Amino acid sequence: MQWQPAAAPASDEASAAASADVSEAPAESSEALAADVQAIVDRGVLKVGVKDDVPGFGQKDAATGEFSGIEIDLAKKIGESLVST
């Protein structure tokens, strides 16, 4: 499974909307969640939104275009865990 950084929200408003309180969202059944995870595995690509300008969390190297930081490390670990399930 490969991972791809997703585009960052266009504004602070979009960022706030993306981080809305999930406790208000209806609970999904385990079958629906399993189907969503299986769709990601079948697609073979995990798309993850990360920061690209916060050293230590998510940063893009201007020279190489490579991403680094804890968010990138976590995204890679999630992708690895999806492959091993």
pLDDT digits (tens, 9 = 90+) for 14-56: 444 344 444 444 555 778 778 888 898 899 888 899 889 999 9
Contact predicate 65/22, CB 8 Å: no
Q: Is the pLDDT of residue 57 over 70?
A: yes
Give the predicted TM-score (pTM) of the model: 0.57
Sign of the CA dihedral running 26, 31, 34, 38: negative
Q: pLDDT at position 5, please?
A: 60
Tokens of 2: 């490969």
